[in-house]
Structure 1
Amino acid sequence: MGEKMVICNKLVYKYPQSEGEEPKVAVDGLDLEVNMGEFLVVLGHNGSGKSTFAKHINALLIPTTGEIYVDGLQTSVEANLWKIRNVAGMVFQNPDNQIVATIVEEDVAFGPENLGLDPKEIRKRVDDALKSVHMYEYRKHAPHLLSGGQKQRVAIAGILAMMPKCIVFDEPTAMLDPYGRKEVMRTIKKINKNYGITIILITHNMEEAVEADRIVVMDSGKIVMNGKPKEIFKNVATMKKIGLDVPQVTELAYELRQNGINIESGILTIDEMVNALCQLK
């Protein structure tokens, strides 16, 4: 599978606690490789270590032990920091924390300006990035007047304009309504397909996870499952045991099978469900 975007070797991260208390282990011996151009979803409930792992990818956190390489650069080597942050962009839950300017296009220009690019190049990148997230006609607007989904797309444009090889999304839809969530997911998929940018999406939304090339499920700082969405969501009982749902249609198929109806397992979308039910006749 070509080159590796991210390689974790026995990655451990412990949050320091107040004096006299044991450090809290958040990531516990993680071994993981992420391929260039892959769309990887990391699933896990709150406290599973998934966000802590995410923060290692652009060196916001440095491993307690073990190591992580991003585009071949070891994150714990201080001299690599600037390069790593140009390679791996990060989009967080709350777009308000990421938007710095009072006009949309100025916000998107902020990153490229910090890279010291030529003004012509910055202009082009800003326009291209805004067009690719369908926010170009809002370029002169004030971000605080936009909807949550629109703000998040502006935040994504700001990262895109820096042309990273990899973008980490840490629960980017958690604060959005269903429409905003759809807008953002559509944007994420498009970035992955059109630009070949590696996507690592941290979420606990099952419908979002279905879109991935591969899913890694984390629990208590460890990887407990790793595979394609169809493989992962077949394990309904295991998922429930660690406190995660599966997509609603997958759950329905599981319940039907439990009740003796011979419907195929591994159904992930409504269309697949409709086809499977039609086959039953």
Structure 2
Amino acid sequence: MPVASRTPRPRRYLMCRPDFFEVTYAINPWMDPVVPVDTGLAVSQWERLHGALVEAGHTVELIDPLPGLPDMVYAANGATVVDGKVLGARFRNEERAAEGAAYLNWFRHNGFTDTLEPRHLNEGEGDLLTTRSYILAGHGFRSTAEGHREAEEYFGRPVVSLELVDPRFYHLDTALAVLDGDEIMYNPGAFSDESRATLERLFPDAILATADDAEAFGLNALSDGRNVFLAETAHALAERLREHGFTPRPINLSELFKGGGSVKCCTLELRTAA
């Protein structure tokens, strides 16, 4: 049966250049302060991602990086934006705590009038991923169930809580990606039995990642409805995407892997009201 053609939709993203990127502490299993980091290489890889998004027709806004906040490059963690409303981030780890205020300040100075500083832990789009019908919300390592309820009340959309159980996939966006509407791809092994059953029920046609592609950050991907920007080493996942009518856009962000993130971590979607 022929695969239906996919239609990309222009998106608007917020990104942060990794001018101060380094790994001097470890707050996830991918971070090792002993392993050298090439900040110049991280910047050049980030620039290729930025260029690829612009070339694909997307608008990319920039927030200024701040010294002393090396993880600020992972813009997805800075907030969650749905229908033009901005839910700020509250980080679990002290090393990243100041990022929440920095991102919320950017929104308040760039035309976003409906913003909320959260009371409960949530690490932005790292753990809050928006589909057509739901906001999928991860917990177990960073964000909390209380943060999920706060998001549901603020956005007025149903939030589906999903428990993460593998510390390598400490944020939801390392274990699951939204492709288009209610189409997703995910790593079953990253979730508790109950949450895996929930995903199987809600998304029976989801693309399942191999363990190798999940470990290569293949699910930390970004889709515009046709083009899927993902780690270039996620070979099997790229083939599955082609089978479903998507166009894989491999990106090499190997230096940023050292901080525990890839394509999605570097991009925060700015969703306006429908």
* Length-normalised TM-score, structure 1: 0.29
* Length-normalised TM-score, structure 2: 0.30
- Structure with higher Rg: it is 1
